[in-house]
Amino acid sequence: MTAVDRTGAPARGAPLRIAVAPRWRRAIGPLVKYALLSLGALLMILPFADMFIGALRSPADVFASPPRYWPQDPQWGVYARVFRELPMTTWFANSIIVTVTITAAQVATSTMAGYALAKYEFGGRAAIFRLVVGAQMFPFFLFIIPIFFILRFAPLMGGNDIAGQGGSGLLGTYAALCLPFVVTWYGVFLMRQFFVSIPDDLLEAARLDGAGEYRIFRSIMLPLVKPAIATLTLFSFVYHWNEFIWTMTVTRAAPELQTLPVGIYLLQGAFEDLDQKALQQAALAVSILPVIVVFLCLQRLFVASEFSSGVK
């Protein structure tokens, strides 16, 4: 898991042939190939299709004996019910606030740190880079308990005294949802790799022109790594829109801070009756849709290089 040379992003497009095959195999090969891909694709889509169908079932469908799979009288109104009967707008707003904040923070911290690690020499650089690479290996479950209490006992926050006692600290604020994610080791690593590939001459020329260090970073360097920023944005957005365990842990008892996945999960008690299942499935559909839309819009950014990052 060493560095990747960003400039050597592999070309994609032309289909590969692994070897010259006999004629009959050349005819059957594509058939098998597309059959396999289609079968896989069908499996990929099946649960989503099942969800959309399920969302349309009426109580009459689920209370039939045996229950009907295909809705007899599709209940399109269920999507309006989702917004009327569930705190969907709160969840939605929280998802957006948290995801946008974290994504913005991660892009800022990753570009800054990545740039410093790539373009400056200073004592301790190697150590910090090792930390960035090494910290990625630490699984998140290790941090849940300690970070929970670090936020809980944050001095002078949320009614706490200087020793962190007396109040509830940062728990119960948006900060508890965002702060543990403002830096992403992976993002710093990714940006550092990108900045390394930018020639030093540019920096040098700018310095000669008398540009200050911060101005060079903002006006010259940042525009050059736009593709990397876009990639990081997309990854951060998807990851944090979908983040579940941490948000659930700190907002379990604070409905006004819950995001879409967390809200739907914690309201499971409301969906136990059979005639509530359709509402649950519709809510799930609504929780998934925004990410899919963002992905389809930005899909072109998903070039091969992202998936090979850290590989070679």
Residues 197-216 that bind another protein (CB under 8 A): 200-201, 203-204, 207-208, 212-215
Restricting to residues 258-277, name those near another protein by CB under 8 A.
260-262, 264-270, 272-277
CB-facing half-sphere around the CA of 163: CA atoms within 13 A? 2
Q: Which two tokens stand for residue 189?
A: 């690593």
Q: Does 26 bind another protein (CB under 8 A)?
A: no
Q: Does 133 bind another protein (CB under 8 A)?
A: no
Q: Does 217 bind another protein (CB under 8 A)?
A: yes
* Interatomic CA distance for residues 40 and 53, integer angstroms: 20
Q: Rounded to the nearest 5°, which phi and psi values hold at 184?
A: -120, 120
Q: Does 23 bind another protein (CB under 8 A)?
A: no
Binding-site member from 77, 155, 159, 226 for another protein (CB under 8 A): 159
8-state DSSP, 137: T
Q: How far is CA 133 from CA 2, 31, 112, 190, 259, in A?
A: 9, 43, 16, 10, 30
Q: Which two tokens stand for residue 208?
A: 């000669």
Q: Which of 72-80, 172-180, 224-232 is the region at the interface with another protein (rule: CB under 8 A)?
A: 172-180
Q: Which two tokens stand for residue 28?
A: 């059957």
Q: Does 308 bind another protein (CB under 8 A)?
A: yes
Q: Does 304 bind another protein (CB under 8 A)?
A: yes
Q: Which of 12-20, 74-82, 224-232 is the region at the interface with another protein (rule: CB under 8 A)?
A: 12-20
Restricting to residues 75-114, name those near another protein by CB under 8 A.
85, 101, 104-105, 108-109, 112-113
Q: Does 71 bind another protein (CB under 8 A)?
A: no
Q: Does 31 bind another protein (CB under 8 A)?
A: no
Taking the least distance from each CB to another protein, the nearer of 76 and 195 is 195
Q: Are 152 and 171 in contact (CB under 8 A)?
A: yes
Restricting to residues 219-238, name those near another protein by CB under 8 A.
238
* Interatomic CA distance for residues 207 and 234, integer angstroms: 32
* Interatomic CA distance for residues 222 and 6, integer angstroms: 16
Measured distance between the N- and C-terminal CA atoms of the chain, rounded to whole angstroms: 7
Q: Does 149 bind another protein (CB under 8 A)?
A: yes
Q: Does 137 bind another protein (CB under 8 A)?
A: yes
